[in-house]
Amino acid sequence: MTYDYTFEELAELRKIYDESGEAGLELAEMRALRKAGLLTQGLPEKPAEPSKRDCILAHCKKRIDQGQPFDGKETAEALGMSPKTVGNILAQLRKEGLLPAFDKHSPRKTRKTTTTGKKKETMTTTSKPAANKEEPMSQELTANAVTAPEEQCGNPRAIIANALVGIYDSISALQRAAYQANDKVVYGFATKLMNGELMDIKANYSKEMAK
């Protein structure tokens, strides 16, 4: 059973310790002095608590190492400190060059950059399908208009003949595409054009140009 020393007894033990050291006291008496806080010799000192400045600096550097932004509000909430105190200390740390300037690690600027990037991606995505909406007929007509021989530009009938050939080729391509896509409506429309007056007009102009 542990003996509880009175204040006077502890004071007497402390006096003996000051005069004779540990040799003048028993083990239980030494323990009683340490338990009462009257003897700290031989015991490790309590580590000093880090200052608010050290805590804030360590927190911000950790955020930087993780690639995350920081500001006064976030730091104050994370460390349970006053936003005003944190703001003053952050300003001093930045002034001393221990932390980067505010604009380099601002959460607001990070959000703006991300939003802008998303908008650009959306615009690029929506603009791509527009190039594929042209019909084969219009594409081939454009190609034929560009590649028409320059020497025939002065002859209107030659221009008509070349245009008829281009139209015929475009309708043929449309007919083939409709057949492959199993589109009966478009296929019937293209077939009707192929079997109508277009064939006769094209044949007449081809004969005329061959003379």
Give the model confidence (pLDDT) of 25-74 as tens digits: 778 888 877 777 776 554 444 555 678 888 988 999 898 998 888 888 98
User: Is pLDDT above 80 for 89?
Assistant: yes
Q: Can you read off the two tokens belonging to residue 87?
A: 């703001």
108: confidence class by pLDDT, cuts 50, 70, 90? very low
User: Is pLDDT above 70 for 142?
Assistant: no
Q: With beta carbons less than 8 A apart as the criterion, state whether 56 and 89 touch.
A: yes
The C-alpha atoms of residue 101 and residue 36 are separated, in whole angstroms, by 51
User: Is pLDDT above 80 for 133?
Assistant: no
136: confidence class by pLDDT, cuts 50, 70, 90? low
Phi-psi region of 49 (alpha: psi -120 to 50; beta: other; left: phi over 0): beta
The domain locations on the chain are 1-42, 52-109, 133-210
Write the pLDDT tens digit of every residue in 153-210. Answer: 568 878 887 888 888 888 888 888 988 888 988 888 888 887 767 777 777 777 676 6
From first CA to last CA, the distance across the chain in angstroms is 134
Counting Cα atoms < 13 Å in the Cβ hemisphere of 108 gives: 5
pLDDT of residue 128: 47
105: confidence class by pLDDT, cuts 50, 70, 90? very low
The class that CATH gives domain 52-109 is: mainly alpha
Closest CA to 29 of 44, 16, 42, 43: 16
pLDDT of residue 134: 47
pLDDT of residue 109: 44
pLDDT of residue 169: 87
Closest CA to 161 of 195, 204, 211: 204
Contacts of 74 (CB under 8 A, 6+ apart): 107
DSSP, residue by residue, 172-200: HHHHHHHHHTT-HHHHHHHHHHHTSHHHH
pLDDT of residue 113: 47
